[in-house]
Amino acid sequence: MPHAPFLLSCLAAVVALAGVAPAAAQSAAIAPASTAQAVDAPVSPAPVTAPSAALALPGAAADAAGASPRAACTPILPVLQAAYPGLAALPAPEDHPGNTRYRVDAQRVLDLAPEPGEPFNAHVVTCKAWPARPDLWLVAVPLIDPNVPTDEEHRADLEVLVVDAATGRAQQRLRLPDAVSDDAVMLRALAFDTARYRLAPDDLAFGLRLVWENNSRANPFGETTLFLFDRPAGDDGALRLVLNKLSVSRDSGEWDTNCAGEFHSTSAVLSMGSTASHGLQDIIVRDTFETRKNTAKAEDCVETVTDRGVRQDTLRFDGQRYAVPAG
């Protein structure tokens, strides 16, 4: 079926972030360079003939081997109780009865899943031990508004915690309002990216990747976006968002649900540049893009590549954030 590659790429993205590494799920990796050595072995990007929204996350070898994304962060509940005093158990949400729900305050709740990374259950606490700093855990907490009907949309902030693994106490935290709110385009998965984003000799960043997709058959859409966080003063300073929602892969299309239509795909590889701006290394983004057109001919559906290429952008720190190119 002509729409199958797009649907499979979106499914691969969710599966890859859930802790499985299908062979086709190898795009949007960070390419190691002299200034950016990956913590774990890097993977090659997917061939341009099969662009995918999936991610093979550098620094996630254990997850790719099938380990739970939270396996090294147990028990997680005491961490959350310390971070959110007064945490109180609530009945499980109707849309995900296997989750455990807790009240954070009068406006927000959080969910724990029995196995984080399950497809279609993305608004749950995610945790990963930081390979570059085994003494620290990285924790992402979607803070959900329980008054919004979750079968239609979510209204949710995202709080990112850097936790001392020995004490279970958050050293640093940063809350991003509405960062994981969704409606027609839904959050399907999130996972930490622990490639070595060495922004400065003493400033190592980490990423968080979010997979989004819609439910439209005629106009399918899927995208993976990247946040980057750094700690410019190390363990004693604040957590800072330095890159906001960079698109690292995207698939979209419009077709008649039978054959005729057009599909677009992009997939990015990131590497650290040799130059710096305002004290932080530039980031090189190399995008591979492709456009395909499907045409009905007799009883066949013929796919033709009408455009294909590579473009490169340099992201420069402006003193507050890395500027993200439009589009």
Which residues face 189 on adjacent strands? 211
Cα 147 to Cα 101, 106, 299, distances in angstroms: 14, 10, 50
CA–CA separation, 154 vs 151, rounded Å? 8
- Span 308-320, mean pLDDT? 96
pLDDT band at 104 (very low <50, low <70, confident <90, very high): very high
Give the pLDDT confidence of 31-46 residue by residue, as tens digits.
433 333 333 323 222 3
Q: How many residues does the chain have?
A: 327
Q: Cis (ω within 30 of 0) for the bond into 75?
A: yes
DSSP, collapsed to helix, strand or coil, labels residue 141 as: strand
Q: Which of 300, 301, 324 is nearest to 313 (CA)?
A: 324
Give the pLDDT confidence of 127-153 residue by residue, as tens digits.
999 999 999 999 999 999 999 877 678
| Residue 11 predicted with pLDDT over 80 | no
Q: How far is CA 192 from the centre of its chain?
A: 7
- With tokens 């020995």, the residue in question is 166
Which residues face 164 on adjacent strands? 136, 169
Side-chain half-sphere exposure of 221, counting CA atoms within 13 A: 9
Which residues face 148 on adjacent strands? none
Cβ–Cβ < 8 Å for 192, 172? no
- With tokens 């590494």, the residue in question is 21
Least confident of 42-56, 75-89, 307-321: 42-56
| Residue 75 predicted with pLDDT over 80 | yes
pLDDT band at 118 (very low <50, low <70, confident <90, very high): confident
Question: Could you tell me what percent of the chain has a pLDDT over 70?
Answer: 77
Provide the pLDDT for residue 117: 73
Say what the pTM is. Answer: 0.80
Residue 321 structure tokens: 């954030």
Cβ–Cβ < 8 Å for 129, 68? no
Least confident of 1-5, 127-131, 147-151, 166-170: 1-5
Average pLDDT, the chain: 82
Q: Which of 225, 213, 286 is nearest to 252 (CA)?
A: 213
Question: Where are the alpha helices (H) located in the chain, listed in sequence order?
Answer: 4-17, 61-64, 77-83
Give the pLDDT confidence of 186-214 residue by residue, as tens digits.
999 999 999 999 999 999 999 999 999 99
| Residue 1 predicted with pLDDT over 70 | no
Amino acid (1-letter code) at residue 55: L
Instruction: Please spell the DSSP secondary structure of 74-91, one letter per residue.
Output: -S-HHHHHHHSTT-EEEP
Cβ–Cβ < 8 Å for 42, 31? yes
Question: Could you tell me what percent of the chain has a pLDDT over 90?
Answer: 70
